[in-house]
Amino acid sequence: MTDPGAHLRDIVNQPKNWNFSGAGRLYAGVDLGTYKAIMIVIDETGKPRAASMKRAEVVRSGLIVDYAGAQNMVRKMIKELREASPLPIEKGATSFPPQTEDANINATRYILEGAGLEVLNVLDEPTAANQVLKLENGAVVDVGGGTTGIAVIKNGSVVFTDDEATGGVHLSLVVAGNYKISYEEAEELKTDRNRSREILPIVRPVIEKIASIVDTCLKEFNELSEVCLVGGTCELAGFDEIVRKSLNLKAFRPDFPQFITPLGIALSCLDTEKGAAQGFD
């Protein structure tokens, strides 16, 4: 599989690289996370055309805790993208952690609608990631800031989902305690690629706990051939190796795992529109 993250890295927050030439229709995928919001715009073929990522603290443990802040953030992001695009951006999709309450799912929908987007889809995060990964028999593990979402795929269909409140927040807390620094400083240190070798041994117990959570969820699924790790927390160098050894399964990670879920959210718009067209016919 060609890694889509490499292309997205070159267009995120880089309007000079946004290219809408030849596009017929545009769709927005919106991923509201614990530390950041990511919006990816694709065309009708699924090609990413533009992307925006902003720091945001509007979600905690997978739940929206600052509705007004989330809505303002999405409005600003879509405004910037619309101003750069020669075509309207009127349709989109968003996501939620597995096992989320209906009220939280509805809140994410309303946030997009408040930004003037027709919401075509609201799907759980690991299922969204598999829109990109196309696993047939495996598991998607989406390690976000506050939670870890797990989806088991058999014969190309999701048969199980779960979500646990362990993620990047917990790694940052351990780093902060180890160095006796603020949480914000720890977050910066954790995401510094040049310090990964130094940080990994410190956060290893938390990563092993995440792997243990995944292992518990996957025990009854003996036929799984692979596990794919996505989400911003997985970008820490060596994260995938610890999980691989803990699970004793083939575990892989795209080069830029934080972009996989938002891209999958956007791609879900195409399936929804295709299904609607077929139903109309």
Higher-scoring residue by pLDDT: 278, 217: 217
Residue 176 CA, distance from chain mean position: 24
Full residue range of the structural domain in which residue 220 is found: 135-258
- The residue-averaged pLDDT of 18-23 equals 96
Span 82-96, pLDDT tens digits = 999 999 999 999 998
Residue-level pLDDT at 279: 60
H helix runs in 85-195, sequence order: 102-114, 125-133, 168-179, 183-190
Are residues 168 and 69 both part of a single domain?
no
Q: What percent of the chain has pLDDT above 70? A: 94
Output the average pLDDT for the chain: 90
pLDDT greater than 50 at residue 118: yes
pLDDT tens column, 21-33 = 999 999 999 999 8
Give the tokens for residue 275. Answer: 């299904």
- On whether both 85 and 141 belong to a single domain, the answer is no
CA-wise closest residue to 160 among 143, 142, 144, 140: 140
**Residues 148 and 162 sit within 8 Å (Cβ to Cβ):** no
Strands (E), 167-277: 226-230, 251-252
Q: What is the CATH number of the domain that holds 171?
A: 3.30.420.40
Give CA 63 to chain center in angstroms: 15
pLDDT value at position 4? 62
Residues 188 and 125 in one domain: no
pLDDT at 230 over 80: yes
The arithmetic mean of pLDDT across residues 102-115, rounded, is 88
List helix spans (H) across 21-101. Answer: 67-84
Q: One-letter amino acid identity for 129?
A: A
pLDDT-derived band at 177 (thresholds 50, 70, 90) equals: very high
> Is 89 inside any structural domain?
yes
Which band of pLDDT confidence, cut at 50, 70 and 90, is reported for residue 36? Answer: confident
Residues 26 and 30: their CA atoms lie apart, in Å, by 13
User: Is residue 281, in this structure, part of any structural domain at all?
Assistant: no
pLDDT tens for 125-155 read 888 999 999 999 999 999 988 889 899 999 8
Within-domain flag for 226: yes
pLDDT value at residue 202: 96
Q: What total of structural domains would you count in the chain? A: 2
pLDDT digits 0-9 by tens, 178-197: 999 999 899 889 888 899 89
Whether 171 and 263 share a structural domain: no
Q: What does the alpha-carbon distance between residue 258 and residue 166 come to, in Å, rounded to a whole number?
A: 16
Q: Are 19 and 49 part of one and the same domain? A: yes
